[in-house]
Structure 1
């Protein structure tokens, strides 16, 4: 194996090299310097912007490590306290300075001499931040962040017992692929009953979060939190109405296709009542796919797979492994979910997962690996804000890699039939993702634009689930679980309104994969060029650089759905 170069943190030009962030006083002097520094030339303005970016990168990375470590071990009170120190003692004091620094930037006439092609997206974002900032919201943000942490802590304690062993929800869910239907039902009911134990706690937590978010929106002059978040997330390229139309397109073109998938499964399984615990098992009675054993093998095979796409991609994962920027296996006390956390100062991100050895874990790894590659490709951009991409772009990087990497999944599967099964499952999931995305997003729109209680929320979820869920699955006896299915979606609690982007990016990823099939390495070059832009161009321009359109019209949804169906037929036949 070629020796890799491990990146080092760049030499700091503004922040002290030996800074230990254990008090606000140690940080305040840097903000005061930026606030009171004279800026009389364009060169001085750029130096000021770079110094501010360096400070933000240092602080963000320090907070990131606190968040990562706390999630890895939610039982460690010291780790929680260290992260809460950030939430309580640092973040609230940074916000007023950010507002003042943003105003200082916009009020300086030299801003008009900055290259508009390079800085227009950044300046647009600064203007929007100033517009929605309210000092009254600072303590509410602090309270909200603390509340959001409670979700991970609650879910991390969810375990079931099976054959004398404690299993996390992720480990237990892997058993839903077992061929023995009685085992699947038993596991499903155990998972369901365990989730129901925290139903009221999660309802109460969500009510608290909704109330806090409403207050934040009202303070900022918005009628509802949905409209506030569209502004806060910088959604300049589409509206709430566009989202509703996207929901309708998915319901019209994708849901019937998914129902056909489920009906075929029901027929092939030869069962009269197709239950929720029948949706994951192999229809031919084959054992669950096992692409790797343990995190080390997952890492090694991912590196091999990515190397075949482009050696640089494999090197990214290799660097992260060498630097111990990977924590992949599910274990007790570890918060649920998976993420890639960018670390802007060192420029080498961190991947966090809850792997149990399943095909879904393979997909999660290449998904987060796509995010990581994006982070590496944009690491040399001049300021931190250039590297902070909107989720419509971030998820394009990750979801495209899910499909592109399929060409080399023979690294994970030596058996051709298993490889075929894995590809079929992935392509079907690329469409199956869309109705769930639409359901969660439509649910959020309703939640934050309508006053309601927990019972009305359940009724609305059932209504939406009827629109986007399978009409083949028999929920008799499981109605109570069905009405709280939304509680398992982390985004609702921790990152509200970060979800429709998965649907938009899924369409983009399918389009990139189509380009990859047609044009091979040329499509990879365009993919790389798009990711290198970071957030220096609009979403539409970044998609265009990747060789595709930022489009979620009904005709485009239909076109890409038909393309996936055609590719499925090729693999099956």
Structure 2
């Protein structure tokens, strides 16, 4: 069944209420553990259907944010999803209080109930109005960014499309594109700042209603972080600051040398260009990249070949940028059809290839875990999900000749260099968000000033030229996670540190590393993050010294490249 044949079903709150009411009654009236388990499994199947309907609406809306039918369906979902969450919350209260809890734990696992208890702490009927408003504000932000129209070189471009000009070989083009992006954010700054301010106050209000000091602890619970806390993350950021920041600065100096410039003369847009001869550029058009990816996954393993053909045959990739399409890229999953979906905005840059490895890594894990019966165990928490995607980027390394031709070495070097350089940016976004929610009454000006201060500490090479909005600390307004998924950004850095372990292992024994990776994907989300690492024999980034142990061999690989000839 092709994606376009999947029906668009607008949610009915009455139907949800009826289904959940019946399930709660059946669970309360269960005479045996077997009866209770049957009710749980029946509701899980219904939850899969509900999740599928909501996901299809979300995908269709992101594919065409200007479509009135999709807008209406998305608005309805935003409005009633917190009410649906409230019904599931009532179900959860009955479930954890079941007289058959012990027997159910033996069947479903202790972690299953830990997840439910965590969700009960992070949700209550009294915060439903705030959750409805939170959804609306997030959609409002997405719509503003999706509707961006920037006049540039005789074209009208969205934020994804103008990106290729910001990395152009010509310095003036890079400057002008970056200035145009900055200008657009400057023109829309007041509205974006208003949306974020409302989101921060809403989240702070919810946290206090639920008895938390501020949104930080609630934010962690909403992300299912059950085996680490903000203190552990703070210590992890310290490790990144001590190891990745100095290594990144060395790499930026190498970059300036490659470009024939003094480090002090480099503007932020100059760092967008990795090589004087131009950034590595994929060979061919989108259809050629898809053909190359198909060959790669056919060769990589039997599982990847079957999976990628399933995606292609069922039209589960939408990759081209176009007017009205939301910016960015993502993978999502529709359990009714056991089908992942990949969304992106190709723009003719190396980022297009990254989509065909990164987002495909997410989708591959979803595909391998599709037969796990308990929905809560199919996918792990966000930071663990990113291990699948970032590791796949590294497993794709041997195939880069097909994507980049003579530019393959340039890509490999810039990809690994970028993986290291991303870490300081990732902790910048994370530290900023902690400060924001610890100081919810700060003004927009104060937020920008704080971001600028953190940015200068972790990425001191940045020098903004003719970009006044970003120079004063407004870069965070570009980062959609800050708006829609608070605290979901450090996850990428944690996953990167773990994915680098696969990179190091595959250089020693590719077959062994691949088997370990497939095992991790099939493991799904049967443990929280730290537990998942332990079960799969991977280093825990929170433990002192582990970040250095991972980055040291990566630094040696980077040193082995002769980038002066690229």
Residue 326 of structure 2 corresponds to residue 322 of structure 1: no
The worse-fitting range, judged by mean Cα deviation, of 166-175 and 436-445 is: 166-175
Match of 1:254 among 244, 259, 275: 244
* 1:443 maps to 2:435: no
Unpaired segments ≥5 residues, structure 1? 1-5, 9-16
Q: Specify the alignment match of 1:388 in structure 2.
A: 379
Aligned length: 555
Cα distance in 2 for partners of 1:358, 1:20 equals 36
Whether contact under 8 Å (2:24, 2:91) holds in the other structure is yes
Q: Does 1:159 align with 2:153?
A: no
1:431 aligns with 2:423: no
Q: Which residue of 1 is the match for residue 332 of structure 2?
A: 341
SS in 2 for 1:79: helix
Indicate the residue corresponding to 2:64 in structure 1: 73
Which residue of structure 2 lines up, in the alignment, with residue 296 of structure 1? 287
Q: 1:231 to 1:287 in 2, by over 3 A?
A: closer
Is 1:350 the counterpart of 2:341 in the alignment? yes
Give deviations 1:451-507, integer Å, cap 9, x for gaps. 311111111011101111132x43354353231011100000111111111111111
Q: CA 1:426/1:117 → structure 2, altered by over 3 Å: closer, same or farther?
A: farther
Q: Distance in 1 between matches of 2:106 and 2:516?
A: 24
CA distance in 2, matches of 1:383, 1:565: 41
- Structure 2's unaligned 5+ residue stretches are none
Kept after mapping to 2: 8 A contact 1:523/1:547: no
Residues 154 and 136 (structure 1), Cα distance of their counterparts in 2 relative to 1, 3 Å cut: same
**Residues 215-248 of structure 1 deviation map (CA, whole Å, 9 limit, x = unaligned):** 1111111010111111222212211111111112
Shift of 1:40: 1.7
Residue number in structure 1 paired with 2:482: 492
Matched with 1:229 is 219
Which runs of at least 4 in structure 1 moved beyond 6 Å after TM superposition?
none
Aligned equivalents of 1:530, 1:92: Cα separation in 2: 32
Note if 1:106 corresponds to 2:106: no
Is 1:400 paired with 2:391?
Answer: yes
C-alpha displacement of 1:406: 1.0
Q: What are the superposed Cα offsets for residues 239-289 of structure 1, whole Å, 9 maximum, x if unpaired?
A: 111111111221221111111111222223223411112112243x32442
**8 Å CA contact retained: 2:148, 2:158:** yes
Change (3 A) 1:544 1:154: same
2:537 is the alignment partner of 1:537: no
**Aligned to 1:274, which of 266, 274, 283?**
266
Q: Deviations over 1:328-382 (max 9, x none)?
A: 1111211111110111221111111111121122112211101001101111111
Structure 1 residues 135-144 or 171-180, which shifts more? 171-180
Distance 2:100 2:384 in 1: 30
Among candidates 114, 127, 133, match of residue 137 of structure 1: 127
Matches of 1:535 and 1:183 in 2, distance apart? 45
Provide the residue aligned with 1:572 in structure 2.
562
Question: How far apart are 1:161 and its partner, in Å?
Answer: 2.3
Distance 1:239 1:270 in 2: 44
Inter-CA distance 269–292: structure 2 relative to 1 (3 Å threshold): closer
| CA 1:502–1:22: 2 relative to 1, 3 Å | closer
Asked if 1 retains the 8 angstrom alpha-carbon contact of 2:283 and 2:405, the reply is no
Task: Please name the residue that 1:520 is paired with.
Answer: 510
What's the TM-score, normalizing by structure 2?
Answer: 0.93
Report if aligned partners of 2:380, 2:527 keep a CA contact under 8 Å in 1.
Answer: no
The answer for the alignment partner of 1:11 in structure 2 is: none
1:359 is aligned to: 350
* Whole-Å separation in 2 of the counterparts to 1:154 and 1:23: 28
